[in-house]
Amino acid sequence: MNNSDNPSAATSNSSWMTGGKMLGMIYLLLNLIISVAAQVVLRAAMEQLGGFEPGNAVGYFISMLNPMVIGGLLLYGSGTILWLLCLTKLDLSFAYPAATLQYFLVFWSSWYFLGESISWMRIGALCVITVGVIIMSLDKESSDNDAS
């Protein structure tokens, strides 16, 4: 919104918005898969380490420096970069609700890869959250505000 006094920035922004929708969707898809993979790897790694107690904090933090945790964090970082790339190509009012697919993918992965039991209560709650996010993204004026 502060680009009006900077013509070069304004033109480069508008060309980003019009072109590359397809590329934006690819970024979004990769972001979904990589972010969910990161969470699954991190949960598996931390479950293996056992529950954290403040009493043994130093030893615990050292044991966190293992390949699985670091690998998970790298995936997490890649997911964040893909999300930022995605936001340069897609409108926030589309990307935000689309990103809630992540919640459902995390549920499925928790059940499939981690053997967690998913109750109907949790799935119902997730649907309620998704509806809330969709309502928020209907607010065109504020999402334009955020995107700038």
Partner 1 sequence: MNPLIYVFISILFVTVSQLLFKHGITLIEQQPKPENMPKWKSILRMVFQPHVFGGLFCNGLAAICWLLALSKLELSYVFPFISLNYILVPVAAAWILKEKLSTTRIAGIAVICIGVFLIAFS
Binding residues for partner 1, rule: CB under 8 A, are 2, 6, 9, 39-40, 42-43, 46-47, 49-52, 54, 64, 69, 73, 76, 100, 103, 106-107, 109-111, 114, 116, 118-119, 121-122, 124-139, 141-142, 145
Query: Minimum distance from CB of 60 to partner 1 (Å)?
Result: 8
Label residue 31 exposed, middle or buried (CB < 10 Å: 0-12, 13-18, 19+): buried
Whole-angstrom Cα Rg for the chain = 19
Query: Minimum distance from CB of 131 to partner 1 (Å)?
Result: 6
Query: Minimum distance from CB of 116 to partner 1 (Å)?
Result: 5
Q: How far apart are CA 68 and CA 43, in angstroms?
A: 10
The answer to whether the CB of 55 falls within 8 A of the CB of 86 is no
Residue placing its CB nearer to partner 1 in the complex, 50 or 67: 50
Residue 38, number of CB atoms within 10 A of its CB = 20
**Residue 47: both structure tokens together:** 């479950």
Q: How far apart are CA 129 and CA 96, in angstroms?
A: 12
Residue placing its CB nearer to partner 1 in the complex, 21 or 139: 139
Residue placing its CB nearer to partner 1 in the complex, 7 or 18: 7
Residue placing its CB nearer to partner 1 in the complex, 28 or 99: 99
Query: Minimum distance from CB of 129 to partner 1 (Å)?
Result: 3
**Residue 31: both structure tokens together:** 């972001």
